[in-house]
């Protein structure tokens, strides 16, 4: 009997400090109007001195465990998607394993930038399908504020910090809830349009050709969304919710339009969170499940594109 996986827990963490577009306009030559019209972003949360990828990821993981009503001791594996680990090693995931007091199982990080959550979800789903794990925490945790060049108005206005988590479990054969499929892609030929310069003037600095990233995002996300639906003989009409990576409202609207999904069926957090990279999808999912919009049994489509370039989609029945 083939084993499948399903989502049973959702959690999120956002640092207390909120930085508005108006706040940023006192640091760089920008305006609330420029940022809102180009990106849909109004504000972002920024990590405080006590926040780290590990501490934020742990908080999101604890919330996901609490939602599912299960003990941390029952978790077999922890996967953290992050482009901003606190240290080159150990992995953020093993820090979280330690903080949760777990002695069993295994933990590791995945680096796929803003597509990291889709990649981590795909790996977790495979671990469960191949019976290497039963219960897996998948966490996206990012502290982009520590890799931004705060004098570069073309990038510093776009990102925020935070963490989101989901808990995966075995889906019994009769289970309505199931991860239907995941679809991953990358193309290293475009590695230099979005990357982190190791030795920027104030340390590591994110660099981006925004127009090129935008161009790739519009075409590649449309393709991967088609691929995911086609794999199940579905069309946009079968999708109840789109929970996209939150980089830019114009990119999100483009995918929704392609699916012919009305705005009220698209989960949007980019206005309040900005782009939290690998954390953005689990943060959005957590919000939408907890406020009762996205319900058990509904078809949910996830998609993301990020540095690498990497991109992917996941289709699930919640």
Does 214 interact with ligand COA (rule: CB under 6 A)? yes
Does 196 interact with ligand COA (rule: CB under 6 A)? no
Of 7-15, 68-76, 119-127, 205-213, which segment contacts ligand COA by CB under 6 A? Answer: 205-213
Give the one residue of 211, 264, 291, 292 binding ligand COA; rule: CB under 6 A: 211
- Position of tokens 């400090």? 17
Of 77-85, 171-179, 184-192, 211-219, which segment contacts ligand COA by CB under 6 A? Answer: 211-219
CB of 163 to ligand COA, least distance (A): 17
Cβ neighbours of residue 119 under 8 Å, at least 6 residues apart?
Answer: 81, 110, 112, 184, 310, 312
Positive/negative CA dihedral, 243, 244, 248, 252 = negative
Catalytic (active site) residue 114:
yes
Give the C-alpha separation, 318 to 312, whole Å.
18
Give the active site residue among 21, 248, 275, 286. 275
Give the active site residue among 114, 190, 216, 273. 114
Binding to ligand COA in span 102-141, by CB under 6 A: 114
CB of 306 to ligand COA, least distance (A): 4
Catalytic (active site) residue 190:
no
Catalytic (active site) residue 156:
no
Active site residues: 114, 245, 275
Question: Binding residues for ligand COA, per CB under 6 A?
Answer: 30, 34-35, 38-39, 114, 153-154, 157, 208, 210-211, 213-214, 247-248, 275, 305-306
């Amino acid at each position: 009997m083939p084993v499948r996986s399903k989502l049973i827990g959702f959690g999120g963490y956002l640092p207390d400090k909120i930085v508005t577009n108006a706040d940023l306009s006192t640091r760089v030559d920008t305006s609330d109007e420029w940022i809102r019209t180009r990106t849909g972003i109004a504000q972002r949360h920024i990590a405080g001195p006590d926040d780290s990828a590990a501490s934020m990821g742990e908080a999101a993981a604890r919330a996901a465990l609490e939602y599912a009503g299960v003990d941390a001791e029952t978790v077999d594996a922890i996967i953290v998607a992050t482009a901003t680990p606190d240290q080159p090693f150990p992995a953020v995931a093993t820090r979280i394993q330690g903080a949760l007091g777990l002695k069993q199982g295994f933990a590791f990080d995945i680096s796929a930038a803003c597509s990291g959550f889709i990649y981590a979800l795909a790996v977790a789903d495979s671990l469960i399908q191949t019976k290497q794990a039963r219960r897996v925490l998948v966490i996206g945790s990012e502290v982009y504020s520590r890799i931004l060049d705060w004098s570069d108005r073309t990038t510093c206005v776009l990102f925020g910090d935070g963490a989101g988590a989901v808990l995966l479990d075995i889906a019994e054969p009769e289970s309505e809830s199931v991860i239907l499929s995941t679809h991953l892609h990358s193309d290293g030929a475009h590695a230099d349009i979005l990357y982190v310069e190791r030795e920027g003037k104030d340390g590591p600095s994110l660099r981006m050709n925004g127009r090129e990233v935008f161009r790739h995002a519009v075409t590649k996300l449309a393709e991967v969304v088609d691929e995911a639906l086609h794999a199940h003989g579905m069309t946009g009409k079968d999708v109840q919710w789109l929970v996209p990576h939150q980089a830019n409202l114009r990119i999100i609207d483009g995918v929704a339009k392609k699916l012919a999904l009305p705005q009220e069926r698209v989960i949007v957090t980019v206005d309040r969170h900005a782009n939290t990279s690998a954390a953005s999808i689990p943060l959005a999912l957590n919000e939408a499940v907890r406020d009762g919009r996205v319900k058990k049994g509904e078809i949910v489509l996830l998609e993301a594109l990020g540095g690498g370039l990497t991109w992917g989609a996941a289709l699930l029945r919640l």
